[in-house]
Amino acid sequence: MKAEVHSDPAVSGDARLSKLAETAAALGYEIVDIAGYLDHVDALSAEQLTILRTVRGEAERVMDANGAVQDAVGAVAERTTRTLEAVEGSVEDVRRAGQRSHEVAAWVAELTERMAAVSDNLKAVETNNADIARIAAQVNILAINAKIEAARAGDAGRGFAVVADAINDLSRQTAKAADSITRNVSTLAGWIGTLRDESASVSDEARSVIAESRETDGALVRIAESVRETHTEAQRISAEAEKVQEATNAFAPAFEQIGSSVEETTAGIHQARSRVNGLVDKSEVIVQGSVGLGGATVDAPFIARVTADAARIGEIFSDGILSGRITREALFSRDYRGVPGSDPPQFIAPFTKFLDAVLPDIQEAALAFDPRVVFCAAVNQGGYLSTHNRKFSQQPGSDPAWNQANCRNRRIFDDRVGLKAGRNTEPFLLQVYRRDMGNGRFVMMKDLSAPIFVEGRHWGGLRLAYTF
């Protein structure tokens, strides 16, 4: 047994290298799987931290707003107190004014009644004065007749004639006085009539003022009640705001502790993710070293294929420059032009048309090399993938998730795997990664790449991806 084990040290060494390469590849698989999970957890924790910071900010704004509410409610309570005092004073003033209006109305009503009585008395005076005037006229007539009869009597009637003249003179004076009294009484009656009309108007105005004062009094009473209710509600709001402030003050320290804990956890997860990614790099170095030392692995045929195809592409690119199909500047250009409306975004480069013409034959043939091959595509050092396999170069539609899985040409893959594949200058680079297939689906794959050199200048790399 021992002789067989050590009979061929070279074979035994190659076997151990092969085993090491296979173990490193398997380890890489597990590490990448864990790294993918950590990527997901890291993204979730970052989102949670963002949400937590947003919530913390909102909580602080709530506290600030609550403080503003307390200030505003205090101001409202103070103003309602002053308003209530002013309204109650106005109610008292209106009531006093109403009382005075009642008194004025009563006085005006009484004055109107007195004016009516005076008017009636004046009418009686006018009537009596008219009687006096008629009597004076009759006396005058009688005096004239008596004077005529005295003249006929001669000397015997001379004394009676003197009496008749005196009576006649008295009747004329009486008539004249009666006429003057009539004119004065008529004038006075006109004034009293005007005064009655004006007092009636004043009485109407007083009644209107009384009615309006009642309405004003009622309105002010209702305003006072509303102000009292507002004042009461403001006090209630202030009490509730104080409770909210007490609750937020008690909650704030616990919230800060939660935030600190989440931040520490997020930082730890991010650090673990970085360390695991470092392990991925180390496992890839082990695979690279073991295969480079002669370890035969299941990846050997794929390595031979991708290195040969990468060399061939470099020659085709160089021939394109020599033949004038493309310039060196255009081939190495990073001047990308976005495709309007593309989601995920696609880009056109100065060399896209040339690559569309020369790469499909090599890339499509690689798909038939082994059933485990998923895709074969060339990327430049920036991770830009101009020309993909036909099955991944569909016309974009309106569904971004479908586009993510089926429209992968004209895209920039500047993730860790894509950039390392484009920038690697070693003979080959074997990476294990989780490929995003869209709709939250990921597939564990191997990404084997070989550098593409054009006239001695590193252009990018050829990626050959296949399943385990």
Nearest in space to 126 (alpha carbons), one of 182, 177, 180, 174 = 182
Q: At how many degrees (to 10) do helices 158-292 and 9-153 cross?
A: 180
Nearest in space to 268 (alpha carbons), one of 49, 28, 29 = 49
Q: What is the pLDDT of residues 101-155, one digit of tens each?
A: 677 667 766 767 766 777 777 677 778 777 777 777 777 787 788 778 778 887 7
Q: What is the pLDDT of residues 67-105, one digit of tens each?
A: 777 787 777 767 777 776 777 777 677 677 667 767 766
State yes or no: pLDDT of 380 exceeds 60: yes
pLDDT value at residue 374: 96
State yes or no: pLDDT of 290 exceeds 70: no
- Answer yes or no: are the C-beta atoms of 305 and 366 closer than 8 Å: yes
User: What rounded mean pLDDT belongs to the chain?
Assistant: 80
Residue 147 has a CB neighbour count (10 Å cut-off) of: 19
Q: What is the pLDDT of residues 233-289, one digit of tens each?
A: 777 777 877 777 777 677 667 657 776 776 777 777 766 766 666 676 666 677 666
User: What domains, with CATH codes, occur in the chain?
Assistant: 64-252 (1.10.287.950), 296-467 (3.30.450)
Q: What is the pLDDT of residues 295-340, one digit of tens each?
A: 657 888 999 999 999 999 999 999 999 999 999 999 999 999 999 9
- Answer yes or no: are the C-beta atoms of 110 and 199 closer than 8 Å: no
Helix (H) or strand (E) holding 435: strand 429-438
pTM of this prediction? 0.53
